[in-house]
Each structure stands twice: as structure tokens, then as C-alpha cells.
Amino acid sequence: MAKDIFVFIDHFQGEALPASWEAIGAARSLAEEKGGDVIALVVGEDVGALADQAIQHGADKALKVEHASLADFRPEPFSSVVGKLAAEADVLLMPTSGRTRELAAMVGVDLDTGVIPDVIEMDVAGDAVMATRPIYAGKLLSKVTVPEARPQILTLRTRAFPKPEPDTGRSGAVEAVDVEIEDPLTEVTGYGETEAGVSLSDAAVIVSGGRGTANNPDLEPPADITDEKEQEVWRAQQGFELIGQLASALGGAVGASRAAVDAGYIPYAYQVGQTGKVVSPDLYIAAGISGAIQHLAGMRTAKTIVAINKDPDAPIFKLARFGVVGDLFEVLPPLVEEINNR
Ligand SMILES: Cc1cc2nc3c(=O)[nH]c(=O)nc-3n(C[C@H](O)[C@H](O)[C@H](O)COP(=O)(O)OP(=O)(O)OC[C@H]3O[C@@H](n4cnc5c(N)ncnc54)[C@H](O)[C@@H]3O)c2cc1C
């Protein structure tokens, strides 16, 4: 038991975050190196299907805790359950998400152990896991370990570890566990959709636009838009229309810089960066984005970065693998056409 690697399956009402399966894959690799079983922790109201999926993705066993009080994520009951189940584990992995930021911290305090958030690489060093995590907005990589306390709790950055393909023929034990749950102190009274139902964190391709999306003086706004600010936003919407076309041609998602969000071109849900989403896609295309350090903090781990910018000295070109010096309004339309033709 003490060698086992537990994985918390993060889900929203029974639908797993793909990063939960990445965490199972990472746990499998760790188990091969250091021994122990991979045990999935599936906590919720009706989560039998998730437990089966965890086995299919590589868990040896799934511990399932089902209770009406666990229908919605709340840190108090979830940390109490996870703390009880994982107390004897050697390692407890979770995908990094808004929920697990709270959960990992609370379980860490309850079990008096160390938590390493937002890990992008793991190695085995003696009896401990040596984790690599970006710090200072991604400018430095720190090596962190939990030398003695157990379990070692790590949250793994989305898309930093490969997602295993499910094997529907794979078998493993699913064990229902009864855990006493105290009445939670908070109540979730409902959910409302945000303006944008975007899931940038899971996207393999992201095309982002910045302040440059509004910079096309040749575009003449409709006559009824007379206010200068509204004309600027209208121009940016034409720019983001092109960004959206490229994203959909590549089967990807749209992102944005904070300048674009602050100027009202696009909602905050799209913002990439230090105070927005941290993403790690296979391909990141930045159009009309200068490459400020706070933007780079959110996308510097993308596998391939392409920059489109009018200014050959824009800092984004230092990080980009491919760069196009040009006006996004001229570069994007033929690019979209060519990709669609292919
Ligand atoms: C505490 C803090 C947190 C922050 N968090 C974030 C964050 O999370 N995310 C983030 O993005 N920023 C963040 N910022 C803001 C950041 O510092 C920059 O101001 C912002 O990223 C700039 O956005 P931008 O590149 O779109 O705009 P700009 O810096 O104005 O760059 C626009 C670029 O577009 C180019 N351009 C103009 N017209 C065209 C055209 N027609 N075709 C092609 N290129 C064109 C220009 O050459 C320029 O390089 C933060 C700042 C602070 C202080």
C-alpha cells in the first residue's frame, strides 16, 4: 500500500477532465519506475462510469465514493474524503485545475505533507519524486521534491504529460468505499454558462489575437458606429473573425492577450497569460501580440509557436519557432484559404 500512486479523477458532474487521464498515464510511468499500483480515486454522486474509464485508461484499481453531498465539488467534503483514502499512499497525483488548487492544498494540510503544484515533469530520485515546475512566469524551472512526508502530492499541468488511449478490454477492480461525510459548510445553488464556453487548457491548437486585431485603418465601420472606441472594437471584431476562421480551419480554439480583453474586444474567458489561462498546446499562433512577459507566462510551453506581427522587433519573435512579419489582415485570409483547400 505504501508504495501506491493514487490519482484523483477531476470531473465536472461525471465528465472527466482529459487531464485526469493524463495523470493516470503519468502515474503508470511512475509505477513502472518505482513500483506500486496505480489507484484512481473517483469521488462524486454517480460516478461508476468514471471508475470504469479510469481502469480503461490504465489504473489497476478504482476506489469509488458516491454520496449525494458529493454531487457538486466543494473543497471541504472532497478534501475530507480524499485525505482519508490517500493517507497511506506514497504519491497522490491530480490534474491542475481550479478545483484541485483548493483540494491539493487542503489535503496537504490535513495530512501534514508537501504539495507541489503545476508540475510539468517527474523523475524518481531515491524514494521520492523529483518534480519540475515553472516559476517566475515560466522564466525558470524549479526542481522540487517532498523528501520525507507522505503522500507526496503533485498537481500536473494540463497537456504536459501524454494522454493514454483507453483500452476497453482492460480489467481492474472497482471498489465502492463508504466514507462518513459531514454536512458540507457551503452549498452550490446553481451553475450559469459564462459568455464563452471555451476550454483553452485542453486545446491542441490555439490561435490568439492581440491589440493588433483592431489595427486596420482601411476597414470602414458601418455608418451608424460613430464613436471612436466602438469603431475600434468593431475593427477588432473583424480581426477576431479572421482569428476564429484560422482556429476552426485547424480544429483549434481562440485565445487572446490581456490588452485585447481589457479593450473589450473579447471576453476574459479567452485570455492567455499570467492572469489568464496557462496553456500548453501543440501549436500556438499569436497574431498581433507583442509578446509581453505576462503573455508568454501563459503559453511559453507550447510545442510550436508561430508569430504574425507587423513589427520585426516584436519580442514574440524571440520565442517563436516560425515568424511572419506582416499585417495579420493580409496574412490570415490566404492562410485560412490554403488550409481549407488542403
Ligand atoms: C500584473 C499583470 C498581469 C498581466 N497579465 C497578462 C496576461 O495574463 N495576459 C496577457 O496577454 N497580458 C497580461 N498583461 C499585460 C501585458 O503586460 C501586455 O500589456 C499585453 O500582453 C499586451 O497585449 P498585446 O500584445 O495584444 O498588445 P501590444 O503590446 O500593444 O502589442 C500589439 C502588437 O500587435 C502588433 N500589430 C499591430 N497591428 C498589427 C497588425 N495589423 N498585424 C500584425 N501585427 C500587428 C504590434 O506590432 C504589437 O507588437 C499583464 C500585465 C500586468 C502588469
Per residue of the chain (342 residues), what is the pLDDT tens digit? 479 999 999 999 999 999 999 999 999 999 999 999 999 999 999 999 999 999 999 999 999 999 999 999 999 999 999 999 999 999 999 999 999 999 999 999 999 999 999 999 999 999 999 999 998 877 889 999 999 999 999 999 998 999 999 999 999 999 999 999 988 899 999 998 765 556 788 899 999 999 999 999 999 999 999 999 999 999 999 999 999 999 999 999 999 999 999 999 999 999 999 999 999 999 999 999 999 999 999 999 999 999 999 999 999 999 999 999 999 999 999 999 999 999
Q: How far apart are CA 128 and CA 149, in angstroms?
A: 10
Which residues form the pocket of ligand 1, taking CB atoms under 6 Å from any ligand atom?
210-212, 215-216, 257-260, 271-276, 288-290, 292, 294-295, 298, 308-311, 314, 327-329
The crossing angle, in degrees rounded to 10, of helices 328-341 and 228-249 is 30
Nearest CA to ligand 1 atom 26: 210
- CA 209 to ligand 1 centroid distance, Å: 9
Collapsing DSSP to helix, strand or coil, 138 comes out as coil
Atom number, ligand 1, closest to the C-alpha of residue 327? 42
CA of 295 relative to ligand 1 center, distance in Å: 7
CA of 95 relative to ligand 1 center, distance in Å: 29
Query: Which three-class secondary structure state does DSSP give residue 115?
Result: strand
Element (H, E) at 28: helix 18-34
Q: How far is the CA of 17 from the centre of ligand 1 (A)?
A: 30
Q: Is 167 exposed, middle or buried (0-12, 13-18, 19+ CB in 10 A)?
A: exposed
Ligand 1 centroid from CA 286, angstroms: 10
Pocket-testing residue among 201, 299, 300, 310, ligand 1, by greatest number of atoms within 8 A of Cβ = 310
Integer Cα distance of 54 and 57 in angstroms: 5
Q: What is the pLDDT of residue 1?
A: 44
Kindly give the distance from the C-alpha atom of residue 316 to the centroid of ligand 1, in angstroms, as a whole number. 10
User: What's the CA-to-centroid distance between 258 and ligand 1, angstroms?
Assistant: 6
What is residue 164's DSSP assignment? P
Ligand 1 site-directed mutation target among 274, 318, 319, most atoms within 8 Å of CB: 274
Q: How far is CA 14 from CA 11, 56, 58, 285, 290, in A?
A: 6, 16, 18, 33, 40
- Read off the amino acid at residue 248: S
Name which residue sits closest to atom 18 of ligand 1, judged by CA.
Answer: 292
Q: Where on the phi/psi map is residue 35: left (φ > 0), alpha (ψ -120 to 50), or beta?
A: left
Residue from 136, 258, 268, 296 to probe ligand 1 pocket by mutation (most atoms less than 8 Å from CB)? 258
Q: Could you tell me the sign of the dihedral formed by the alpha carbons of 116, 31, 81, 200, in that order?
A: positive
Taking Cα atoms as reference points, which of 234, 246, 236, 249 lies closest to residue 288?
A: 236
The CA 256 to ligand 1 mean position distance, Å, reads 9
Atom of ligand 1 nearest to the CA of 260: 26
Q: How many angstroms separate the alpha carbon of residue 317 from the centre of ligand 1?
A: 13
Predicted confidence at residue 176, as pLDDT, reads 98
Which grid coordinates belong to 327? 499585417
